[in-house]
Structure 1
Amino acid sequence: MVPRQRAGSGQAVRPDRDLVIDLARFFCLALVVVSHTMMVSPVLHPDGTVTSDNTLGNQRWFEPVVWVLQVMPLFFVVGGMTGLQSWRRLRARGGNTFDFMQARMLRLIRPAAVLLAIMFTGLWAARLTGVDPQVIQLSVSGAGMPLWFLAAYLAAQLNLPLLARLHARAPWLTLTGLTALVVAVDCLRGMMPTLAYLNMVFVWCAVQQLGFFLADRGPLALGRPALAGIILASNLLLGLLVWLGLYSGNMLVNLNPPNLTLLLLGCSQAAALQLFRPVLSSIAAMVPVRRFIGLAGRRSMTVYLWHLPMLAALSGVLLLTDFPQPAGGTAAWWWGRPLVLLAVIGLLLPVLALFGRLEERPTSVAIARSRPAAAVVTAAVVVFVPVADAALNGLTLGLLGGGAACFALAVLLLGRIPARLVSDPGLGGSDPPLPHPPLSANVEP
């Protein structure tokens, strides 16, 4: 539910949605789903072992393409825009940092907890029935990739209240400090490889700050020549770093753990979002497009979390049958990709019908109290322990079960979002006016 302002006549007026944000989110999600169907390629070897190849990522021609189509930074830019606006709305209603953390975690981990529990139960049952452990591990790994994004996005969002305060006081100094931390970790990761995972916080928090500038109509809300200059300068600097051999030119290699190249891509994509905003706004304003992306946006996290497990499950089932399995990268394999995409979409439809509602704001009919700060912090720790273990050591069936238990415990600790924080003035409430700049009513709680 989105807060409304009262017009002079006393009628509740809902602020306009920023349809460009909805369109950007939908584009990013669609591109991720399509590209993943072209990457996962399970291989059954003559000796009975099963491996998974990244067919698309292994193509030499794909390296310059992924430079353009690596849209993960754009997710965090948009998350910074809507997150900052949501934080300001919540503050206007009397909420605090722990209320924000509670709302963010509930929105993200409730769907994830159900996914992990169902995957663990199904795969454990498959193991008991004698399914090859390697096929099971292939399916387990399908949950690993969505979880790293969930961990990174949660880390950025949970730090948002602090970063928003720093941004209000010294926006450029805050961004410069985060960038310096990113560079420092990149310089030290050769001596201490594990240290590189700190950039899952520093890089994405820095990219999120770019969204703050967009939300405030700050330096990135420049004229077209200046925005084009930012795009050109970011890519030239990125090309120079790659040419010097300091970073890989493959943006999939640079993704996990992330490094400075993703921050530079974030600068370019943030500027591009502003540069092409008039065109994107016209497209998003079309009634069929607006309705479709609005519907997709309400279930975006469910699609993201479930599409890879569905793809891995489909691949595992096919390995257990006599269905033709063309070698990855062959013409037959490429021609079969549209069929795989359609099959994954078909599997996602019942999942969305069954579990999509978990993504809606978990409010209570009765007025609920804010959770104690200790409960919120404990929930955050409980969530990040299994995710960090999976990032460092890989996801296993046992860790999948442990993660499901931890996520469920976190949901119990968080309870429900206090109703006073999501009250609707149109139903008789009296909320303070929305803060400036004008806010968009996007899917963030």
Structure 2
Amino acid sequence: MVDLLRVLSLGVVVLWHWSLSLTQWNAAGALTMPNPIPDVPGGWAMTWVLQVMPVFFLVGGYANLAGWQAVTRDGAGARRFLAARMRRLLAPVLPWLACWVVFDVVVQAAGGRSVLAWGMAVLAPLWFLGVYAAVVAAVPLTARLHAAWGWRVLAALAVVVLAADAVRLGPGWGAPVTGLLGSLAVFLFAHQLGYFWRDGTLLRGGRRTAAAVTAVGLAALVLLTTLGPYSRSMVSVAGEATSNMFPTTAPIAALAVFQLGLALLARPWLAARLQRPRAWRAVVAANGLAMPVFVWHMTALVAFLWLYERAGFTLATEPTGGWWLTRPVWVVGPGLVLAAMLAVLSRCRRRRRGSEGQPRRG
């Protein structure tokens, strides 16, 4: 089930970026991706399910605690754990980064603008992977704290999140630093929640516990977004004074609790479906592609965007009826480009492995 949730969470992110963003070039020539949430009545409610970044960190907490326990049982230490995790996390990033660096050098040599001038949307995978890498790097510490202090670690992280928000949104002291501190505490909180899933604490009591976790998360979300200074939307919305994602705020921590409760409620049903060999094989195959798909999905979008404009089409700036009708195009188009990219990368990888396996002459 954990593998399925990882695939689903990254899949939702990819599909959201492709089809539920008003992708366009602004007056400065930067690529921007506002969403249509303000134009959809009650659209903010969708983000309470479709903002799935907390799910990825929950699943990461589950998997990382399992990996840490396995390493410590074997008598190995933090170095072995971190080397294996970072290698798995960063391996898809290196060819992606190399391709963009080469492309940027060629474009600038030809008199064009640096890719960095296109806006950070192109480099969206980097911020997420950077935050996740920081959380993984902390596992040797957070796993030990979990074993020693349990729920008190979650409570301390929640206090840090709320304090950072209060300072930043109140008097505004040290906004960049408090924003970064609060954001890191939110994702550490979600990751730490996954530890309680892994160690079985949240599985005791069955559906009753799952329902209680769901209710607590939902109540916290309602209270924070109704009585607090927070947006109801869990994604950034143009024109709103505050964003819950940049910097990341307390409602995202509450969302992690709510979504964990939903996952626990769905667990028996999903586990039964995954007993089918065909379904499980599909999840395993998709899980193997999840990180490469995430790393390359924005590159595929930019490539399709270039083809789309060269074909004479113009980008919509408002979520009109016509824009909604074209949403399938923005799933299929980038999807085909991404499939071609991954096929080329796979072929290059096979050739490199083949050449490395060739006996040397001389």
Aligned 8 A contact 1:248 1:254 in 2? yes
Aligned 8 A contact 1:37 1:311 in 2? yes
The Cα of 1:57 is off from its aligned counterpart by 3.9
**Aligned with 2:326: secondary structure?**
helix
The Cα of 1:288 is off from its aligned counterpart by 2.7
- Picking from 101, 115, 133, the partner of 1:120 is 101
Q: Which residue does the alignment assign to 1:30?
A: 11
- Picking from 22, 35, 40, the partner of 1:41 is 22
Pair 1:202 & 2:185 matched: yes
**Aligned with 1:250: secondary structure?**
coil
Mapped to 1, the partners of 2:54 and 2:340 lie a distance apart of 30
Q: Which residue does the alignment assign to 1:426?
A: none
Pair 1:269 & 2:259 matched: yes
Q: Which residue does the alignment assign to 1:169?
A: 148
Pair 1:81 & 2:71 matched: no
Mapped to 1, the partners of 2:245 and 2:204 lie a distance apart of 27
**Aligned with 2:228: secondary structure?**
coil
Mapped to 2, the partners of 1:101 and 1:285 lie a distance apart of 32
Pair 1:101 & 2:86 matched: no
Q: Which residue does the alignment assign to 1:233?
A: 216
Distance change (3 Å), C-alpha of 1:53 and 1:153? closer
Q: Which residue does the alignment assign to 1:147?
A: 126
Mapped to 2, the partners of 1:346 and 1:154 lie a distance apart of 29
- More off after superposition, 206-215 vs 30-39: 30-39
**Aligned with 2:22: secondary structure?**
strand
The Cα of 1:58 is off from its aligned counterpart by 4.0
- Picking from 135, 141, 146, the partner of 1:156 is 135
The Cα of 1:85 is off from its aligned counterpart by 0.5
Higher helix share: 2
The Cα of 1:142 is off from its aligned counterpart by 3.5
- More off after superposition, 311-320 vs 70-79: 311-320
Q: Which residue does the alignment assign to 1:404?
A: none
Distance change (3 Å), C-alpha of 1:165 and 1:144? same
Mapped to 1, the partners of 2:87 and 2:155 lie a distance apart of 31
Letter in 1 for 2:12: L
Distance change (3 Å), C-alpha of 1:347 and 1:136? farther
Distance change (3 Å), C-alpha of 1:134 and 1:123? closer
Aligned pairs for 1:259-408 (under 5 A) are 259-355=249-345
Distance change (3 Å), C-alpha of 1:92 and 1:136? closer
Pair 1:216 & 2:199 matched: yes
Deviation sequence 1:243-293 (CA, Å, 0-9, x none): 113211111131222111111111111222122111111222233321111
Structure 1 unaligned residues grouped into runs of 5+: 1-19, 360-445
Deviation sequence 1:408-440 (CA, Å, 0-9, x none): xxxxxxxxxxxxxxxxxxxxxxxxxxxxxxxxx
Work out which structure has the larger RCO, using CA pairs closer than 8 Å and 6 or more positions apart in sequence. Answer: 1
Aligned 8 A contact 1:111 1:358 in 2? no
Letter in 2 for 1:173: R
Q: Which residue does the alignment assign to 1:192?
A: 174
Deviation sequence 1:295-343 (CA, Å, 0-9, x none): 1101211111110121123224433552344444122222222112112
Distance change (3 Å), C-alpha of 1:213 and 1:206? same
Aligned pairs for 1:47-86 (under 5 A) are 49=29, 51-61=31-41, 62-86=43-67
Distance change (3 Å), C-alpha of 1:297 and 1:112? same
Mapped to 2, the partners of 1:336 and 1:174 lie a distance apart of 47
The Cα of 1:154 is off from its aligned counterpart by 0.8
Distance change (3 Å), C-alpha of 1:187 and 1:123? same
Mapped to 1, the partners of 2:103 and 2:93 lie a distance apart of 15
Distance change (3 Å), C-alpha of 1:49 and 1:156? closer
Mapped to 2, the partners of 1:357 and 1:154 lie a distance apart of 28
The Cα of 1:196 is off from its aligned counterpart by 0.6
Aligned 8 A contact 2:212 2:261 in 1? no
Aligned 8 A contact 2:207 2:265 in 1? yes
TM, length-normalised to structure 1:
0.70
Deviation sequence 1:134-180 (CA, Å, 0-9, x none): 98733x63442211110111111111111111111110111111222
Distance change (3 Å), C-alpha of 1:221 and 1:74? farther
**Aligned with 1:273: secondary structure?**
helix
Mapped to 1, the partners of 2:251 and 2:203 lie a distance apart of 19
Distance change (3 Å), C-alpha of 1:89 and 1:58? same
Deviation sequence 1:7-37 (CA, Å, 0-9, x none): xxxxxxxxxxxxx112111211221111111
The Cα of 1:184 is off from its aligned counterpart by 1.7
Mapped to 1, the partners of 2:295 and 2:37 lie a distance apart of 21
Mapped to 2, the partners of 1:136 and 1:151 lie a distance apart of 17
Mapped to 1, the partners of 2:108 and 2:311 lie a distance apart of 17
Mapped to 2, the partners of 1:299 and 1:143 lie a distance apart of 20
TM, length-normalised to structure 2:
0.85
Pair 1:178 & 2:157 matched: yes
Structure 2 unaligned residues grouped into runs of 5+: 236-242, 350-362
